[in-house]
Structure 1
Amino acid sequence: MAEIERSIPQKFFDRVKEHPEQILFHNKEHGKWRAISWREAGEVISEIANGLLYLGLEMQDRVCILSENRLEWLYADFGITSAGGVTAAIYPSNLSDEVEYIVNHSEAKFIFVSNWGQLKKLDGRENRMRGLKKVIMMDKLDSYSEDTISLSQLREMGRDFARTHPDALSERIKSLTPEHLLTLIYTSGTTGPPKGAMLSHGNIIWTYHALEDLFEEILDIGPDDLHLSYLPYAHAYERIGGIYFGIFRGVQIAIAEGIDKLTSNILEKRPTFLLGAPRVYEKIYSALMKRIEQESALKKKLFWWAVNVGKQASKYRLNQKPMPVSLMPKFFLANLLVFRQIKNRFGGRLKFMVSSAAPISPEILEFFSALDIIVLEGWGMTETSAPSTITRPGKLKIGTVGVPLKGVEIKIADDGEILVRGGNVFKGYFKEPEQTKEGFEPDGFFHTGDIGVIDQDGCLRITDRKKDLIITAGGKNIAPQNIENLMKTDLYISEFLAYGDSKKFLVGLVTLDEEAVTVWAKERNIQFKDFAELSQHPEVYKLIESRIAELNKRLPSYATIKRFKILPHQFTQEAGEVTPTLKLKRKVVNKKYHDLLESMYSGLEDGEI
């Protein structure tokens, strides 16, 4: 049996030695993709780590990264952790006061920033962030100040330091143990200041090995595979599942230019697997539906015939039963005429996709399964080093998030909350002993805040967040995410918020799919000056009313949407309404639109609806 790794940097530099010329990163530079070997990446990371040692980084000092996804983000992270530091990631969308809080709370000694826009958030830092010793700019610096240097300067310092201290970095890496902290990941903090979840090297190593059989024997992931990385690096999902696990498997990692360029980047790099949040898959599904709507009647009929055949075949695959002989020629034709064209839009090499970070609609999973595209669904959170459960090929059970990872224990509390124990569970919240204590049972089980059930096959089904459950005036417990996911499968609906705690019935807020609704309106010669005006048009309201009425038929009567309002804009990350992984911030939205939501209950006599 191979020796278990002691740290992430140890694993990284072991791979550099073993396969120096294999490709690690693909990065778009000056409009062209450039391949970067393990050797080249190792040299840059060594320079950064040595530069930090020169500047006085001590073991377990915290260093912040405030940047968009880019190659230098990853170089900085591995440089920090190789020097024995702890990366405290900050979302590039965070405002100046939020940046100040994380820098001060983490007691960061240094901070990497991507550009002048991010640097501006540190203005007045000599009074606001007194612990900061040095700011390191990834972009080129045109002017310098005493506390600010460029990344290229840091690398030069590192090269000079390595010449006079050739063993300093290797000795620091050797001194790292699984118990040392790797990162602080700050949670969104919708009910107060964000909390810094402490994840150790051992947490990540343990979690990887709990999934090793899936990666190695079932999915067969290795150096010939390519992962297109686009989810935020400040989030646990991409950083652990995409980057750190990718390092363990030796896969190639292409750094996407941004979510807006995802479609073109997929066609250019032809990934073999993708990680995504449900909202990404909802958008892919919506885009396909829009495309089909614009096709001829014959092509529409062919598409839905193929999907129906795919759904029949999918039932046999999911139950691990052979496909009937009578179905085989139909499925062959469906694949040849329809499915292959759709798969080519993903580059033609895709083995599987993973959905996590929030529950995904079963309708979306059933659709992709019909197309013979494997979507594995995982469940976990920052505090559990990302995954705690995952579905597995050949044992997929739509509507569940699979079975626990090897070594992970899961039980359901009396109130339905999911409790987790295992080597993936974090070390607590940084400098928050009381909140850490509140999160754990005496026997070590962690309170996840999610509600769920374990079925007869040992699969976990998530019903909702404990704090998000709607309890109606009639005492019905309703999981709003189930309703919202169903509504978002509609071609014309982009986002949906269900509301109705302590009320007699449920209402909703709707944001529209701008492209689909605009096409619909133009086909009917509806005049409008902009989309905000169109969204409030009576005919658009009638359209959405009819669509919701159809979707309501699939819900129990007490969970149907009785009234709704259409917003003239989308929920955005900039407005604080969604997270970086595009999850709705329910409390923020409820508070922001409280008067509008409550207005839907006014004017009703007692007993109405």
Structure 2
Amino acid sequence: MVEMIKTGGSTFPRMLLQHGQARPDRPAFREKDLGIWQSWNWSQVVDEVRTLACGLAAMGFKRGMNLAIIGDNRPRLYWSMIAAQCLGGVAVPLYQDARAADMAFVLQDAEVTFVVAEDQEQVDKLFEIKEDLLPGTTLLQHIIYDDDRGMRHYNQPELSYFRKVQEFGREFERSHPDFFLNEINAGDENDIAVMLYTSGTTGKPKGVCQTHGAFITAARGSIEFDALTPDEDILSYLPMAWCGDHLFSFAQALVAGYTVNCPESGETVLNDLREIGPTYYFAPPRVFENMLTTVMIRMEDAGAIKRKIFHHYMEVARRVGSDLLDGKPVGAMDRFSYAMGKLLVYGPLKNVLGLSRVRVAYTAGAAIGPDLFRFYRSIGVNLKQLYGATETCAYVCLQPNGNIKFDSVGLPAPGVEVKLAPNGEVLVRSAAMLKEYYKRPDATAEVIDSDGYFHTGDAGMFDEDGHLKIIDRAADVGRMNSGAIFAPNYIENKLKFFPFIKEAVAFGNERDMVCAFINIDLEAVGNWAERRGIAYSGYTDLAGKHETYDLIAECVEKVNADLASEPMMADTQIHRFLVLHKELDADDDELTRTRKVRRRFVAEKYKVLIDALYGGRTSQYIETQVKFEDGREGMVAADLRIVDVKTFSTLKKAA
């Protein structure tokens, strides 16, 4: 291969070529298809990307254009990102489960004319957008699809099959043999590599423009921090539009040269996780919560002896597991008990979860409850938290091995400056920061101050050891009428530790007491109900059962007892709650695509329920419009019970 020009700094296409030269036969990507794992080495990936890039060029894709990418995690979609970057273009991944209206906003805002879509489902959505939501525009001129199943009778002129585009590329390359390398050499580390849209928690999503240099800085820093090597295996299953996936499955993979494994489908992720046995794993708290819920459901179904063994050794793990993982001194008897627990419980449990080979696991995207965090570390999973944002390439704070605190997100990452504004807002400055918001200089100026610090919008504090603690979103932190700090996310995470609670929304700002909405976990509570002979017809029916309310009340009271042991949080114990008649859903605009609660929207939508909670009512009737997956709309109605729960006097925190 022709030697590269040594100018322009590091870019992802240059790194791809370097891996193709340095480790041509090492696996770069795997994908499970029809139950069989397919593999591509680095040399093959270089060929795939080169022919695709040349094919895009033959179709008119040029430097500075945006290429939208829509679908589940697929090797060819990741290659499409690199192919666009090879030509000086910008990759714009979209959430594959987004509604057509949400997708249309991003496509229009990013001025997308070229799209690579995974399959027929996404193609249909794109034509719906083109014909109904964006008629008469020059957008979506080229739609390239990867999976040709179901596409036989589609003959729209905009459509091209992925493999056909690569054939165009081979023809183009024969007549332009130097084109590919010349385009890569024309690239610069300060070029925009990817545009990731914010989740839109408080407004319309914004396109975060990140350069090659920014993401490579973040990738290198985190790779060195955790001593990652080309031998790592990861499972890539989180949305490609999420910043965390872009860091772990794209940027770090191209910097370190490790293997990215794509599951067969969203339904097979847990099975594929066990088959791959990743050494490096990343998941948001919700995934770890779901794993724990599955474990607890299985233990409820187990025999009495097995349950007793499980709970006995989990108590041992809770007491000494984290200390052993961190290399701290532990007594001989506890070491022996833990070794027995590893043989009988922890080892088999990690194997079932697919975490047996994990050396480093991270969680981010939302705060993780300390109890959930402690559970995984106690069984020997080196789970750590990182803190970052889309605007910082998900790279602000990391937790060093052996220096883990359950209530912190760690220390500032290498090369990152972190300080607090007078109001407690976390401010960040580093080379791994956004270049701008796309077409939004006003919004860019709002978040980056004159000293170059990015204003995260999160409220935090440093402890005596320099660890950063994130309290909540600065906009969400308030005060109760008693003067106590009210941090709703802190309370909600404690509630969501229980497998029966899937989502929670706490209220209390400028109030005399805290009240909460609860979403039950249908699988966990359904399993619990079936074992007790409680019949139910669906979520709404089960959520309204007296037995369900009693179950949730027990969980809430345990949270209150825990809050009572923390003097700063004792006044934020929950006094009243209700179980919502429907699950909070991104399609109903109640959650973002990364499952963050849109608090203001929820508060406005369910104002009648909040008024009932604080008005002393014991029930409230409500009708709610919902959107179904097929686009239809309907109504869900219920008469919701409102119950009071026990609170506790301030307790001395247990040692």
- With the shorter chain as reference, the TM-score category is over 0.9
- CA deviation after TM superposition for structure 1 residue 275, in Å: 0.6
- CA deviation after TM superposition for structure 1 residue 430, in Å: 1.1
- Would you say the 8 A contact 2:591–2:598 is kept in 1? yes
Where do residues 269-284 of structure 1 align in structure 2 (5 Å cutoff)? 269-284=276-291
- CA deviation after TM superposition for structure 1 residue 126, in Å: 7.3
Determine if the alignment matches structure 1 residue 21 to structure 2 residue 31: no
**TM (normalized to structure 2)?**
0.87
Q: Which amino acid aligns with 1:564?
A: F
More displaced, 117-126 or 258-267? 117-126
More displaced, 154-163 or 257-266? 257-266
- CA deviation after TM superposition for structure 1 residue 440, in Å: 1.5
Determine if the alignment matches structure 1 residue 177 to structure 2 residue 184: no
Deviations 1:213-262 (A, max 9, x none): 2243xxxx333321011110011100112222022212111112344322
Match of 1:358 among 366, 380, 388: 366
* 1:545 matched residue in structure 2: 553
* 1:158 matched residue in structure 2: 169
More displaced, 556-565 or 461-470? 556-565
- CA deviation after TM superposition for structure 1 residue 401, in Å: 0.8
* 2:628 matched residue in structure 1: none
TM superposition outliers: structure 1 runs of 4+ over 6 Å: none
Match of 2:218 among 188, 207, 212: 207
Match of 1:223 among 219, 225, 230: 230
Determine if the alignment matches structure 1 residue 96 to structure 2 residue 91: no
Going from structure 1 to structure 2, the CA distance change for 1:482 and 1:3 (only over 3 Å counts) comes to farther
Match of 1:247 among 244, 254, 269: 254
Determine if the alignment matches structure 1 residue 7 to structure 2 residue 11: yes
* 2:61 matched residue in structure 1: 57
- Would you say the 8 A contact 2:8–2:187 is kept in 1? no
- Would you say the 8 A contact 2:94–2:241 is kept in 1? yes
Q: Which amino acid aligns with 2:246?
A: R
Distance between the aligned counterparts of 1:279 and 1:260, measured in 2?
16
Tell me the secondary structure at the aligned position of residue 302 of structure 2: coil
* 1:129 matched residue in structure 2: 137
* 1:450 matched residue in structure 2: 458
Distance between the aligned counterparts of 2:405 and 2:383, measured in 1?
11
Determine if the alignment matches structure 1 residue 299 to structure 2 residue 306: yes
Deviations 1:39-89 (A, max 9, x none): 222211111111122222222211212223222211211111111100122
* 2:566 matched residue in structure 1: none
Q: Which amino acid aligns with 1:297?
A: A
Determine if the alignment matches structure 1 residue 589 to structure 2 residue 593: no
Q: What residue ranges of structure 1 are gaps of 5+ in the alignment?
A: none
* 1:36 matched residue in structure 2: 40
* 1:196 matched residue in structure 2: 207
Determine if the alignment matches structure 1 residue 337 to structure 2 residue 309: no
Q: Which amino acid aligns with 2:334?
A: L
- Would you say the 8 A contact 1:88–1:185 is kept in 2? yes
Tell me the secondary structure at the aligned position of residue 563 of structure 1: strand
- Would you say the 8 A contact 2:280–2:358 is kept in 1? yes
- CA deviation after TM superposition for structure 1 residue 425, in Å: 1.2
Q: Which amino acid aligns with 1:367?
A: F
- Would you say the 8 A contact 1:104–1:129 is kept in 2? no
Percent of aligned pairs with the same amino acid: 28
Q: Which amino acid aligns with 1:48?
A: L
Determine if the alignment matches structure 1 residue 478 to structure 2 residue 486: yes
Distance between the aligned counterparts of 1:43 and 1:528, measured in 2?
55
How many aligned residue pairs are there? 602
Where do residues 65-104 of structure 1 align in structure 2 (5 Å cutoff)? 65-104=69-108
Distance between the aligned counterparts of 2:98 and 2:374, measured in 1?
36
Where do residues 302-321 of structure 1 align in structure 2 (5 Å cutoff)? 302-314=309-321, 316-317=323-324, 320-321=327-328
- Would you say the 8 A contact 2:223–2:252 is kept in 1? no
Distance between the aligned counterparts of 2:616 and 2:232, measured in 1?
60
Distance between the aligned counterparts of 1:96 and 1:513, measured in 2?
27
* 2:651 matched residue in structure 1: none
More displaced, 9-18 or 407-416? 9-18
Tell me the secondary structure at the aligned position of residue 436 of structure 2: coil
Tell me the secondary structure at the aligned position of residue 518 of structure 2: strand
Going from structure 1 to structure 2, the CA distance change for 1:561 and 1:296 (only over 3 Å counts) comes to same
* 1:515 matched residue in structure 2: 523
Deviations 1:425-472 (A, max 9, x none): 111211111111111121111100001111121111111001122432
Determine if the alignment matches structure 1 residue 325 to structure 2 residue 332: yes
- Would you say the 8 A contact 1:232–1:580 is kept in 2? no
- Would you say the 8 A contact 1:20–1:38 is kept in 2? yes
- CA deviation after TM superposition for structure 1 residue 485, in Å: 0.7
Distance between the aligned counterparts of 1:83 and 1:215, measured in 2?
32
Q: Which amino acid aligns with 2:415?
A: G
- CA deviation after TM superposition for structure 1 residue 3, in Å: 11
- CA deviation after TM superposition for structure 1 residue 19, in Å: 1.4
* 2:51 matched residue in structure 1: 47
Distance between the aligned counterparts of 2:7 and 2:378, measured in 1?
42
Q: What residue ranges of structure 2 are gaps of 5+ in the alignment?
A: 1-5, 564-568, 619-643, 648-655
- CA deviation after TM superposition for structure 1 residue 586, in Å: 2.3
- CA deviation after TM superposition for structure 1 residue 139, in Å: 2.9
Match of 1:601 among 598, 603, 614: 614
Tell me the secondary structure at the aligned position of residue 290 of structure 1: helix
Q: Which amino acid aligns with 2:342?
A: N
Where do residues 109-128 of structure 1 align in structure 2 (5 Å cutoff)? 109-114=113-118, 115=120, 116-124=123-131, 127-128=135-136
Where do residues 363-382 of structure 1 align in structure 2 (5 Å cutoff)? 363-382=371-390
- Would you say the 8 A contact 2:91–2:194 is kept in 1? yes
The root-mean-square deviation of aligned C-alpha atoms, in Å, is 2.3
- CA deviation after TM superposition for structure 1 residue 301, in Å: 2.6
Going from structure 1 to structure 2, the CA distance change for 1:604 and 1:476 (only over 3 Å counts) comes to farther
- CA deviation after TM superposition for structure 1 residue 138, in Å: 2.3
Match of 1:464 among 469, 472, 475: 472
Deviations 1:164-221 (A, max 9, x none): 00111111111111110001111122333211111000101111222232243xxxx3
More displaced, 318-327 or 565-574? 318-327
Distance between the aligned counterparts of 2:351 and 2:39, measured in 1?
23
Q: Which amino acid aligns with 2:156?
A: S
- Would you say the 8 A contact 1:69–1:230 is kept in 2? yes
Distance between the aligned counterparts of 2:326 and 2:272, measured in 1?
35
More displaced, 272-281 or 142-151? 142-151
* 1:186 matched residue in structure 2: 197
* 1:403 matched residue in structure 2: 411
Distance between the aligned counterparts of 1:363 and 1:4, measured in 2?
47
- Would you say the 8 A contact 2:387–2:409 is kept in 1? yes
Going from structure 1 to structure 2, the CA distance change for 1:49 and 1:514 (only over 3 Å counts) comes to same
